[in-house]
């Protein structure tokens, strides 16, 4: 199974979760785990997703998610699981 980590950060507004999850579903990306918090009006979400069924190039998905974030006023980053883990090792 191939996995990726999606992070979403920004001012809380209506529909962030819906729009991000809709994009993932439309691209055959299955959510394995999801966590979200709102602290003093700031939204933070982390998604671990299965990208095994992905039909697009992964870099295209990352670019499209970044653009989606700009459209809805948040910062969206998408990384392959192995890269994410290497970047966050002590």
- pLDDT (tens digit, 9 = 90+) per residue, 4-36? 999 999 999 999 999 999 999 999 999 999 999
Sequence-distant (≥ 6) Cβ neighbours of residue 37 within 8 angstroms: 43, 44, 45
Q: For residue range 3-12, what is the model confidence (pLDDT) as tens digits?
A: 999 999 999 9
Q: pLDDT > 90: what percent of the chain?
A: 86
Per DSSP, the residues of 33-63 read: EEEEEEETTEEEEEEEEE-TT--S-HHHHHH
**C-beta of residue 45 within 8 angstroms of C-beta of residue 33:** no
Q: What is the pTM of this model?
A: 0.87
Would you call 65 exposed, middle or buried from its count of C-beta atoms within 10 A (0-12, 13-18, 19+)?
A: buried
CA angle 71/88/59 to nearest 5° reads 40
């Amino acid at each position: 199974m191939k996995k990726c980590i999606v992070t979403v950060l920004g001012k809380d507004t209506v529909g962030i979760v819906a729009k991000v999850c809709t994009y993932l579903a439309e691209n055959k990306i299955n959510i394995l785990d999801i966590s979200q918090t709102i602290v003093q009006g700031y939204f933070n979400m982390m998604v671990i997703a299965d990208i095994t069924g992905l039909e697009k190039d992964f870099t295209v998905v990352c670019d499209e998610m970044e653009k989606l974030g700009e459209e809805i006023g948040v910062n969206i980053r998408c990384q392959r699981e192995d890269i994410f883990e290497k970047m966050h090792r002590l």
